Amino acid sequence: MSLEMEKMDKEHLLHKYLNGTATPEEIITLEADPTYSSYIKIANTAESFETPMFREEDNFNAIASKLADPSKVRPIRSLKVIYRVAAAVIILFVGYLFISGSETTISTQIAEKKEFMLPDASQVHLNSQSQISFDGNKWNQKRSLKLEGEAFFKVHKGKLFSVKTSQGFVQVLGTRFNVFSRDSLFSIKCYEGLVSVSYSDTTVQVPAGTMIEIRNQNRIEKSKIATASPNWIANESTFQNVSLSLVLEELKRQYPINLISQNIVDKNFTGSFTHKDLNVALRSICDPLQLEFTIQGEDVRLYAKKNN
């Protein structure tokens, strides 16, 4: 993971800490970093600044007693102490605005998946080589995010929730759905509730238990889905009558390999492959299509079987 991505992840964790939603493991991660542990110390200090309870009679008697005895009247504390406290609060406030006000970006690399919560407690599963960005500071007013790649959402009920992609956008109120947007393929699967999908100048409703695919901005009719959640969350990619080239692109997202294909016709593929074992994954793809493969380090070569 790059330093920039690591910084973004820690800023997201700090945002969760300030909102009181960070897990014990996430707090340990922040405390291990000197930069972010200082923010935590400031936050803890600020929390200790409590306004004392005011009792009118007790305070009147105490003031009268001190005025009657000049020896009990103490000088005001040094302004330096007040300035230090004020500075700590300002640093905390500015730091919070920096994290909340700036756009948060969360992404994954090859063979990496992430699961995280949005500011409204909506849950996101982010597939390999994907990216999500949103403005946490405005989230309560507008639940909107940008997606590149693939993600599964469990949306907490509330205001309109929007997912924007380069090929269209999806809108829901509270539901579970999956969005895939790569190259020319835009696919939406609704597992619960109702999803509104807009692309080009068209809007279509996708009810629970169905999916819709848009290829090159051309709609393919709705079809049924048989599972309660996308298979890729369980480390398996599943395809229904999809071109081999798209299957191999997904394979390269799940495994850090260099794929070389020789004289292979781009056939359609129906089936699945695991994300946990490259040999098993390749066999699942190659056997139905009469293909062979060899593996040498990170290089994988596919070729057609020779006729006997």
SS (H, E, C) the chain: CCHHHHHHHHHHHHHHHHHCCCCHHHHHHHHCCHHHHHHHHHHHHHHCCCCCCCCHHHHHHHHHHHHHCHHHCCCCCCHHHHHHHHHHHHHHHHHHHHHHHCEEEEECCCCCCEEEECCCCCEEEECCCCEEEEEHHHCCCCEEEEEEEEEEEECCCCCCEEEECCCCEEEECCCEEEEEEECCEEEEEEEECEEEEEECCEEEEEECCEEEEEECCEEEEEEECCCCCCHHHHCEEEEEEEEHHHHHHHHHHHCCCEEEEECCCCCEEEEEEECCCHHHHHHHHHHHHCEEEEEECCEEEEEECCCC
**What are the chain's domains?**
3-101 (no CATH), 103-224 (2.60.120.1440), 235-304 (3.55.50.30)
Q: What is the pLDDT of residue 302?
A: 95
Q: What is the pLDDT of residue 296?
A: 95
Q: What is the pLDDT of residue 100?
A: 45
Q: What is the pLDDT of residue 11?
A: 64
Task: Provide block-wise average pLDDT over 10 residues at a time, the chain (308 residues).
Answer: 54 65 72 65 50 44 49 46 45 43 88 96 97 94 96 94 96 93 92 94 93 86 88 95 93 96 87 97 96 95 81
